[in-house]
Structure 1
Amino acid sequence: MAKLSIDDESARVERMTGYEGRYREADGYTIAFERFEEGGDFTPFYKGLPDDRCQSHHWGYVVKGRLTMHLPDGDEIVEAGEAYYTPPGHTDELDPGTILVEFSPTEELARTLAVVEQNLQSEVG
């Protein structure tokens, strides 16, 4: 069994301006607690992936704030207190102060995040 809390110091932690994520992997899935202090539209960071969209499935719950999933058929809004599932082929936008807990297949997530990280480095560099 794997578990993760929002302040778990034993988890893998990633931080950048306006973002903190805590991650734990188990049985091919990644559990994530993510805080988006600044929020924003993350669509540009998926550039280079098929259709310039995230290529991972996600199951999650919005603890605080609001998540907008941009899907080919239109936008879906998920607010605090709501759970969600989204297939590959989306981009996302988060209100400032949003907190999520999310579950994703580790391999799909890793392939997507490799491109996101390259795009982030290009923007900073």
Structure 2
Amino acid sequence: MTAATRTDAPVALEGDGVEVRTMPIGGDMSVSYISLPRGTDMGPALKGMPDDACQCPHWGYLLKGRIRMSTPAGEEEYKAGQAYYWAPGHVPVALEDSEFVEFSPTEDFKQVIEHVVAQSG
């Protein structure tokens, strides 16, 4: 498939107001529709990954909210209306209810989702 809406993408991760819908969109890339409620800190869910951080690169657009991203170089803040690239080695925290659409290498993101699901189970 080369196009997908939010409702086309199956839920890969859900709980405590967090929702991640993702599906392959062509080649080795996937599209994800992500909702994080204010206060969501992905740090605990990423514990045990290299550097306790997400190691998958993401390209995306923040539709709503604000995200603080912790990286090896320090912290950066992103807000609605911004396109972004998040390099491997990041940990997001939702400063406001946030929604974003992002594109990631399918296999890399699958490993992150599997790790997060295992942490919550």
Q: Secondary structure at the match of 2:51?
A: helix
Letter in structure 2 aligned against 1:92: P
State the shift of 1:45 in Å: 0.9
d(CA) in 2 for partners of 1:88, 1:113? 14
Offset, 1:94: 1.0
SS for the counterpart of 1:114 is helix
2:16 maps to a residue whose letter is: T
SS of the residue 2:108 aligns to: helix
Give the structure-2-normalised TM-score. 0.88
Aligned to 2:79: 79
Alignment gaps of 5+ in structure 1? none
Q: How far does the alpha carbon of each residue in 1:43-89 deviate from its partner, in whole angstroms, 9 at most, with x for none?
A: 11111111111110001110000111100111111100001101111
**Segment of structure 1 superposing worse, 15-24 or 103-112:** 15-24
On the 8 A contact 1:2/1:24 being kept in 2, the answer is no
Contact preservation (8 Å) 1:18, 1:39:
no
Q: Secondary structure at the match of 1:63?
A: strand
CA distance in 2, matches of 1:76, 1:4: 29
Alignment-derived partner of residue 20 in structure 1 = 19
Distance, in Å, in 2 between the alignment partners of 1:42 and 1:88 is 14
* 5+ residue gaps, structure 2: none
Q: CA deviation at 1:113?
A: 1.8
Q: Give the length in aligned residue pairs.
A: 119
Cα distance in structure 2, aligned partners of 1:68 and 1:116:
19
CA distance in 2, matches of 1:87, 1:114: 19
Question: Is the 1:43–1:92 Cα contact (8 Å) retained in structure 2?
Answer: yes
Q: Does 1:119 align with 2:81?
A: no
Q: CA RMSD in A?
A: 1.6
Which stretch shifts more, 111-120 or 65-74?
111-120
Is the counterpart of residue 92 in structure 1 residue 95 in structure 2? no
Percentage identity across aligned positions? 36
